[in-house]
Amino acid sequence: MDSSAPESGTVNEAVNTVPPCPSPFPSTVRNIGVFCPAGAPPPEKLAKGCRKLRQWGFHVCLAVPDSAPDRYLAASDEERVQAFHQLLEDESVDAIMAARGGYGCARLLDRIDWQLWETSPKPVIGYSDLTALHLGALRHGITTGICGPMVASEMARGLDEPATAAFTTAVHWFARAWGAGECSTEGALASATVLQPGAASGFIVPATLAVLVSLLGTTHMPDLEGAILVLEDINEAAYRVDRYLTQLRQTGVLQHLSGLVLGAFGGCDYPEWLPQTFEEFAGHVPGPVISGLPFGHRFPSLSFPVGRTGFLEAGDEIRFSWL
């Protein structure tokens, strides 16, 4: 994954306008915490995303460092992890959303109070670099994460046509990740391709490929035996995607999966080489493998729960569901 970290800033007040679609959050969520575990969000985008949350009637609790960004990070590691701990400790906060990704979540893993997170397992929502936090949480048995939209990116999208339809789709897909959900060939899986047929069940692990591979060999990497691994990435050349998948093969990860799902790999140099690469590595997975899922650094994107039980069927029809 190759992305930049823009400047940080403050958040403006909400604007009283009608939200573009119903709230994707369950009725149990009233207060949403927003933090910056990686890069610094552009102030105007953070403000816009927070306004959308307020339009749905949520109180937004911002845990954003006041200090200037530290290089490509929103703030120092200590400040960023303190902000996260603050939201975990705040009993009024029902869910926690990342402002944006970038880079920096892996730097926090050695500093996180895992006992605090285990006793306050609030949903932590985000994707991209948030893969590091989701995998670290999974390693500690925390399965409340959602690989989904972020405040200063997806939530800050404009709503001019046809963006309104895309935003509504993204919100609908995000809503399904909170409870039992399903994809079918009539909907999100219409463009998916079966690389290896079969049926499998296992815990779902959605991840950005480069971030997942960076945790191999660390104490924060969960055991993926029996998992349905859902991978995506952006701005990675075809040979680098090959390199990451080779590492997953050589460490035995692919051989112990229940199934593999490949999402979007946008911004790739020589994208015409990816299908052959995916077909080659599909042969190392003992279960079903599909590609072409609308998931990742694209809009709209599917959202997935982290660690919940899923079911994948790949044959004449493709079905992907979770409990």
67 is annotated as an active-site residue:
no
Rounded CA gap, 37 and 64, in Å? Answer: 9
Could you tell me the two tokens for 187? 């909907």
Of the candidates 3, 128, 153, 258, the residue annotated as catalytic is: 128
Any catalytic annotation for residue 232?
Answer: yes
8, 297, 301, 303: the catalytic one is: 297
| Both structure tokens of 148 | 């989904």
Encoded tokens for 216? 């191999």
**Nearest-angstrom CA–CA distance, 150 and 38:** 12
Label residues 24-42 b or e (16+ Cβ within 10 Å = b). Answer: bbeeebeebbbbbbbbbbb
Strand, helix or coil at 160? coil
Calculate the CA 24 to chain-centre distance.
16
| Pairing status of strand 198-208 against strand 228-234 | parallel
C-beta of residue 79 within 8 angstroms of C-beta of residue 36: no
Our answer to whether residue 297 is catalytic in this structure is: yes
Catalytic residue among 232, 236, 258, 291: 232
List of E strands, the chain = 31-35, 59-63, 95-98, 124-126, 146-147, 181-184, 193-196, 198-208, 228-234, 259-266, 289-291, 304-305, 309-314, 318-322
Contact predicate 265/272, CB 8 Å: no
Residue 269: CB atoms within 10 Å = 12
Q: Hey, which residues are catalytic here?
A: 128, 232, 297
